[in-house]
Structure 1
């Protein structure tokens, strides 16, 4: 860029004017900007006499390009390393070359905790002159890892303690961070009530530590479970009350000893009683469970009557007499003296009447049974055959009627001879078969 311009020469001649011609020849050397420039001046007079003068200019490019925009040295965390400037950010100019080639090189040097990044830009002109610019980035890990998946604090029953969660860690500089779990227990008010602290600790390669905790409040709010308690039972008063079972037990979901107590009480009823058996189980945290068996003793059986006679028929027309009601007694499975009440009723019927004897036995619980005897009394019957005595000549048939001819009766016609069209009807036709005197009876 400092090649001197060709000077303007003058020539003198004793005889004539002189013409000067300048010629310039470039001789390339090792590179485009390295060459020899030979300038020749030829002076010619009017008679053709010439004089030659020559200048040789050696042109060299010995200056390196100049880089522009190379970033300054910095320190950065491993998650904050700046990107490489895009092409065209770092440029170069040269005093001789219009175009300068820029090459970029990045080298990484790991250290005990982090790394050093050296970014180098090399600018080369057409003659191989180089300019070098560097940026040094000191990369360190000054941030702790981040724990992922730490569960929230919870309050749970002793039977619902969750398994430890799978907690991981990510770190901007360490690709494989180890996570360690530790647990501590702080006792509570009772054996099955306590606080469980789970702590996850993540440490990266540079010793940065992250910790997270989960607090699990474990409570025993579940009562024990009673086993072997018999079902409720209803028995009759003449049955034996079963003994209380000896195999009733209690277990607790949280473990530990369970205290078991038993109580039996009797509750009178209007008729009978109830036997209440109560088992109470108490765990170490004071939770209780109660189970009860109720045995109800009842009298649901009616008394049994003894001495109730069978139904009978008394025919006064045949000389029978009406008997007196007998003395009927009763027995009961629970009441030693059931009450027996007697009642008598009478109702008329054709040809007599009916007497109903009724005995009702009631025990102390109101269970009742009834027995009865029906005495059918037949009164003497006034029987007539109409018409009266009959006579006929030459035989024939007669229409006969009975009185009474209606009601709760049965009729039976008979004769010494002859026949009846229907001997069981109240109205009949009698047919005689031969002459004679015949007796007809009803």
Structure 2
């Protein structure tokens, strides 16, 4: 401070003097923290805060600028405060987050006050069991039972494991398990709980059905069967060991026996069923614990009695019961009569209602009309027909020719009956008696008797007699007066008929002379007399005109001296009896192209002078065989000559040629002496051989013709079939690639063509590679007729993963001690729809929702979460992506300012292959995702430096082998260029990052 002094006299003269005053301030400013939590913190102190992230109302204490007050005795001081956050691993560093707080207060004289302290967010409280299983006693088969148990932690997830210790018991099969549950958090804090499990053998063996007959039947079931069926199934007669087995967890298998008991029989009124079979399978283990598997077979009767027959109308005196059937039990009959007004004043009619009940109460009903008995029969009279109005017992005579049989329905229509008091039934019967025309005056008497009977058995009878008289002659069939036939065996027989009675027929026949030697004449007389003496006469003249000669049986052509066909003979045309046969050899010799023949004329004459002649050719000195030749059309079609009968065809033409040859239409035969020469055809396979390109197969076709003298000739044809010896393998599919679980269907085996005899298919799976990829080779091999084998294959490349399928987890900036954080994923490549499986590798309790979808909702405490996603496509291919999700402390600067350790560090940028490292987005605003791949798991350091080399952010993470992803918060960075350095003991890589606001 400068002070100026001035002295002035009365005359105004003045003198000045400058004085300098120096003020020294050696008192430091005063720092006051108003937040009670931080008010008494001392410089260099470490505040330990227990994480209570599981308490939704808990917040981490945070020192704000508004909670800091500064003052000075000489002026207004200033201050700076930095809060740098270091992330720790609780199990190694003892904290989740370390907040380094540095406060510096400076006055105008540079007096300063420094307050430096650390805040550690820790978890020192062990998890607490929220649900524990009580001590229990279980049987042997329940020792693997999972009991419900849960635990919570103040800060993170609690992981529960268990360990069993067995203590032997006093009895075999009895012991105690001490199951110690340990609930441990990620900081190593743990709690234990021991459950005592007393294991005893108190359960019988487990009865397990081993027969399909017991499928669907459970213990205590009731099977229902109807009476009348087979009540006990046939399979229940089998040995019990074939139906059921008994397995005991403590003492092994046990013997099984079966028992079937019948109960509750004949008490359907009480139980609702006829009878009950109880089927019991029994087994006992070594400790005497029994087991029973029981089911019931209930025999029911749900069917009411069936009325087989009941009279619709009965008389009041009728004591006959209706015929009713029930296949299960006895039937109880009862009825109720209800009187009704009838047409008869002397009696009363009823409607009778029958009730039929079986033992199970099933009921059926039927009704009858019951009439009273007036003891009077119905009155009958003829009301229709040719005898309408005639009286009972009337007799009528009718000619047989005028009478026709009358059926029952017509007879009933003639009769009318009346009964004013009862319902009746009319029947008619016919009685026929043969009469003696001379004594009785009729040939036959027909007696029609009608009976009318009412329901009470009162019967009336009406008779009518028809006497058939016969005054007409019998008649003949056939009745022609003259007939003409060529053989006696063909003369038709005459028969006599009569309209009334049988006929006695007498025949007179004698031969008369004929002017024609070849014709026989018979005069016939037929006399027919019927039972009443009426007679008829038929005279007939029969002309037998036999003009056909005998039949000669001899071959048309024979070789002289050949007796192979037997001796010729002749038979009569009509009687088929032998006829003398004469043969006359001709002296004339005929030439036949190198051979000779003469003729023998055979003659046969029957008794009527009819003669048959046949000329037989007898060949002599014939040593010339028949001539065989192919037709001109055949040779022209297949382009060959008789001099070289060889046809060359492809395999496709071969079958058509064989079909043509089989018809024999292409071969002609001629003989110098004989006619109608038979041809015999044969076929054989000659040879199969191969050259450099083709398969050749030769077939020999032969035709043979033999004349009657044994002279033979042959015709040969060679067919050469050629086809490529290399099979057509175009059916083999092309090579292909499939991914993961996708399969390629096997094609159907093609049919073999000519020249090929066998086809084989083989599938070879090669040894998988380290990454699971392998090749499947499908080989088709075809063998030709020469034994040569040709193969073609299809290679199917099975790739264990689809390289195009990839995923990238997109995580936003999240704050510590928060929930409802949304994580998304970007998936590309693969095939079809995706499925998602999320994992938090270091805290599964943080998943809130979204499992199985592309969006996950998580909570977070104070540690960085290791998030993993497995994506699968429609082929079953998978891709995994991982990301570390850190959390920021809200209101606290997350930037690391560790100048002492990093200020002088220098980094060299190494050139690595593209794709090993990436930053996205770049440029960025709020955050950047660092992605990199490593050959092995280990500790990785990630640092961000500004252009001066100052480290502004530093993180250490546990990287996994393969792909890694880490999100870094850049929201507090100023705009500019930064460098991201990834380093470990084996790698060092630097990338440029652009920050934009």
TM-score, structure 2 normalization: 0.22
TM-score between the two structures when normalised by the length of structure 1: 0.43
Q: Which structure would you say has the larger Rg?
A: 1
Point out the structure with the larger helix share: 2
